[in-house]
Amino acid sequence: MFDALERVSEYVWRIPVGYKKGMRVPGIIYASEELLLRAHEDKAVEQVANVAFLPGIIKASYAMPDIHWGYGFPIGGVAATDIETGVISPGGVGFDINCGVRLLKTEFFAKDVMDKVDALMHEIARNVPRGVGSRGKIRVEREELEKVMVEGVDWAIRNGYAWDEDTEFIEENGRLAGADPGAVSDKAFERGRDQLGTLGAGNHFLEIQEVAEIFDQRAANVFDLFEGQLVVMIHSGSRGLGHQICSDYIKVMDKVVRATGIELPDRQLGCAPILSREGRDYYAAMACAVNYAFVNRQVMAHWVRESFERVFVKSAESMGMRLLYDVCHNIAKFEEHFVDDEREKVCVHRKGATRAFGPGNPLTPEKFRHIGQPVLVPGDMGTASYVLIGTEEAMRETFGSTCHGAGRVMSRSEAKRTISGQALKSELEAKGIRILAGSLALLAEEAPGAYKDVSQVVEVCHNTNIAKKVARLRPIGVIKG
């Protein structure tokens, strides 16, 4: 079955350079046999090999255990490129630039406040616009939107949507440097204007969860997580603004590839040298979408805090509604990593992969620096999400990256044929999971059966040490578009 693949260890597989003519480096897949079989069936393995064609790619084209068939890059793909000689690829980031996750803590035990969950869900659902075609509550005209793009969550602080301490607990402190609104098209501005603070649809969600199990007590203590704790997870991205920037630049890169004769096995892998004008413009525009997405999640978190305040008639501060962390899983960034024992600045593409910096990294919040960065892994709504912690091994092996979620196994139309939205809703409710969904058809697409078992994915990360388990979170209330 896996003839072409070399087994490096129980959970690590190598696609040799000779697998496809044109590969510059091998492919490395982190997966159990079962997960690999799935990836093999749906051509994701081919995509790992295709990414290895990118000029300037360093060490290998990596795939995390939640690997599945994407377009161009596989979902779960990680590729680092050399800044001097390498390329940057919008397809290596994806359409939903800075799709990511944040986790808000509370000081409540879930069991003590179960009678308030319905009220909380309705309050949050009333406060946070969601779904396709719904308008946001905030309208930011061009000048203000430019500030959002450049300042990120600092904009949110100035406008009363964030606590001062929030930025400390966001990847890049909620403000990726290098953003230039001049590189963003008018169309992207149009799309971004009334979607700030909106959840969107698809796999995005807002969940009230309970910390169901602690695996690493020491890390949990540092993260202020305890068994039985009520927490809130927000999974969303840069909405139409990011989709438009990606579309705009894939078109630009397509021209560059033709003009320069870069050979690629898939047109969606379009790219440009990092140091070229097109490469720089893409980065500057992508950073705008990254910051927009940080603000998007921040504004929603603010409304979640307000919703708790209304339901409990207490201040969010007194309920301990601090941010554990906010991480991106669709992004390209310049980071320092060890390459051949030397520190080198590289461009890391994470397409459905999460940064997982180990202990001692200066970019990790001071509070956690001695143990490593919190990694948030959203699961599918019926099962679980996880909090993991970054490791030394991830730094050495995967450019500080790990998995980002469960990974799909069933196409959306198949999911809809197999599962009706209504039946699914009843099934989840029978398990004690409350659901508020804008569209039952969209709900069916995201049914747990459509995904790989997130626990299996996390187990592979844990066993290969590209992240360690800290806590498992169980959904109590799910809000979707």
Partner 1 sequence: MLPFEVLEHTADVGLKAHGHTLKEAFENAATGMFSLITDLENIKPSTSQEISVEAEDRESMLVEWLNELLYRFEVEYTVFKRFEIVEWDEEHHMRAVAYGEPLDLGRHQIKTQIKACTYHMLKIEHNEDWSAQVIFDV
Nearest to 200 by CA among 108, 272, 135: 135
Catalytic annotation, pick one of 235, 302, 349, 404: 404
Map residue 442 onto helix, strand or coil: helix
The smaller minimum CB distance to partner 1, of residues 202 and 374, is found at 202
Q: Please say which residue, 411 or 422, places its beta carbon nearer to partner 1.
A: 411
218 neighbors 371 (Cβ within 8 angstroms): yes
Q: What angle do CA 128, 378, 307 make, to 5 degrees?
A: 25
Among candidates 468, 309, 452, which has minimal Cα distance to 382?
Answer: 452
- Is 68 tagged catalytic? no
Which residue bears the tokens 């909620």?
Answer: 174
CB of 243 to partner 1, least distance (A): 5
* Nearer to partner 1 among residue 193 and residue 355 (C-beta): 193
Q: Give min distance, CB of 186 to partner 1, in A.
A: 11
Closest CB to partner 1 among residues 310, 412:
412
Q: Which C-beta is closer to partner 1: that of 247 or that of 463?
A: 247
- Smallest gap, in angstroms, from Cβ of residue 393 to partner 1? 28
Q: How far is the CB of 423 from partner 1 (least distance, A)?
A: 17
Cα atoms in the Cβ-side hemisphere of radius 13 Å centred on 168: 11
Cβ distance to partner 1 smaller for residue 13 or 95: 95
> How near is the Cβ of 95 to partner 1 at its closest, in Å?
5
Which tokens in the block code for residue 118? 């319905």
CB of 95 closer than 8 Å to CB of 331? no
Strands annotated E in 289-441: 323-328, 330-339, 342-351, 354-355, 374-377, 385-389, 401-402, 434-437
CB proximity list for 258: less than 8 A, separation 6 or greater: none
Instruction: Give the max Cα distance, the chain.
Output: 64
Which of 288, 249, 283 lies closest to 269, judged by CA? 249
| Residues of the shown chain interacting with partner 1 in the complex, contacts defined by CB under 8 A | 42, 44, 68-72, 75, 91, 94-96, 131-135, 187, 190-191, 200-202, 240, 243-244, 246-247, 250-251, 254-255, 258, 266-268, 270, 408-414, 438-439, 441-442, 445, 481
The least distance separating partner 1 from the CB of residue 271, rounded to whole angstroms, comes to 12
The catalytic site residues sit at 404
